Structure 1
Amino acid sequence: MKNPKVAIVTGAGQGIGLAIARKLLETDSYVILNDLEKSLTEEAVANLSRIGKGNILGCSGDSSNPEVISELVGLAMKEVGHIDQVVCNAGITLFGNFLDYSWADFMEVSRVNQAGTFFLTQAVARIMKEQESGGSILFTSSVTAHQSHENLAAYAMSKAAIEMLAKNLVLELAPLGIRINTIAPGATLTERTTSDPDYASTWSRLTPIGRPATPEDIAEAASFLLSDQARHITGQTLIVDGGWTAISPSPYV
């Protein structure tokens, strides 16, 4: 029997990260699921265990913290012995007008979104190099890395940065058999966004396809980029937004 691929997925307690973890389990990967909140991690692992037949472990904590990164990588190596896929999905959004945006908020967005992605990728790539079997890495960006969106200057900057990181790392990682890509979701119906009662109707009106994405829509695209079916794709960003960036109407107009 072929050994399952082993995947680390951060920010996976709910929303897009959870949907990606579920999809990977359905395609027979062994998943190390991470979320900042312990309760979300435990709940997600309990629910997904029914799909993965026990092929899932949880590791809660801030995935931009070097100690948590070491714990994630160490858990995968201890329990399974190799790492084949990583999804750097954890991130934060701190809205704010540019002229009033604080140093503290800027540094926090940069720490979680940029540094967390950079150093988790570094740790996993080192393992993949030693394994000599390659691997696939996926970052979660945003349409705001491509089109202006009010009050999201710092967030958009951080997401554009990780898209460039994926492109730049092709130089160093492709010779090791490691592919690295980015997915950029548009408006998506998650626990956070649906707390706004007008979110679904607003983005259904603004999205050419006629509705915002579901987490499962994003997970399908993510699964493809991680899979062997995308074996000749690296350094790319796939926008999944129902056509919004083609015309980019603002929700504030």
Structure 2
Amino acid sequence: MTARTFEGQVAIVTGAGQGIGYEIAKQLALNGADVLLNDKDETLLAKAVEAINAEDSNCSALSGDASDVGFIQQLVDAAVERYGKLNIVIANAGITLFCNFLDYPVDSLQRVMDLNLRGTFFLAQRAARQMVKQQSGGRIVFMSSVTGHQAHRDLEAYGMTKAGLEMLAKSLVVELSQYQITVNTIAPGATLTERTMEDAGYKDTWAKLTPMGRAGTVQDVANAALFLASPLSGQITGQNIVVDGGWSAVSPGPG
């Protein structure tokens, strides 16, 4: 992959105000893409765009709820209006709610389902419509999780949605391959982000539990996303890449 692999490409990245989404958006922009960042938090989003553009890159922002179907269409339309087309979509926005299964509230389940599944489904649909119209193929990447493969206490709802995204990617092979649109997923394991680092023991705990001896970084996940978004992955679709330092091979719990 060259330094300008994504020159002339236009990408949307949701959940891009910080963490994994921000890093993916940044790396796409640094490698030549025009990137439309989305996040519900306007303040985080503004800071993210300012930081990326300060590195001689080209990106812009559209704040809004990535679970809202009306807004999703606005997001796709905005990318086309600003940059002329849409080639890459990284559906990264998601919510993690920890709760014991026996006490799980109905409204919490609805929130997780709406953003993680409905939002991703309709972003893929609306983006694919645009890609089909362009007749030049495209790349769609969903953000899954190792909790879609291995059970994790208090994350039953979250894990269910992530497993669902991997099945959605497989199903879309049937629908979208004829248009040269690939759909894949990435399943990060324990990853150091602004949110996870709020837990003082997170880094050390997961360094001990991960066979590679450290928790993942946002750069680790972004590397996988850039590969799946690049021309190098043209024959890969309906697949999932696990980025967890080997954790899911042995699956020790945090205690």
TM-score when normalising by structure 2: 0.96
Q: Alpha-carbon deviation of 1:77?
A: 1.0
Q: Distance in 1 between matches of 2:242 and 2:126?
A: 26
Aligned in 2, Cα 1:190/1:3: closer, same or farther, shift over 3 Å? closer
Alignment of 1:114-193 (within 5 A): 114-193=117-196
Residue equivalent to 1:65: 68
Cα deviation code 1:171-199 (max 9, x no counterpart): 01000110000000000000000000000
Q: Distance in 1 between matches of 2:53 and 2:145?
A: 29
Deviates more, 1:82-91 or 1:72-81: 72-81
Residue type of the alignment partner of 1:203 = W
| RMSD (CA atoms) | 1.2
Residue type of the alignment partner of 2:50 = A
Q: Which runs of 5+ in 2 are unaligned?
A: 1-5
Residue equivalent to 1:204: 207
Q: Distance in 1 between matches of 2:7 and 2:151?
A: 44
Q: Alpha-carbon deviation of 1:51?
A: 2.5
Residue equivalent to 1:112: 115
Q: Alpha-carbon deviation of 1:52?
A: 4.4
Cα deviation code 1:194-227 (max 9, x no counterpart): 0000000000000000000110111011100110
Q: Is the 8 A contact 1:166 1:180 kept in 2?
A: yes
The percentage of aligned residue pairs carrying the same residue is 51
Q: Is the 8 A contact 1:30 1:52 kept in 2?
A: no
Aligned in 2, Cα 1:32/1:52: closer, same or farther, shift over 3 Å? farther
Residue equivalent to 1:217: 220
Residue equivalent to 1:51: 55
Deviates more, 1:164-173 or 1:59-68: 59-68
TM-score when normalising by structure 1: 0.97
Residues 1:7 and 2:16 aligned together: no
Q: Which runs of 5+ in 1 are unaligned?
A: none
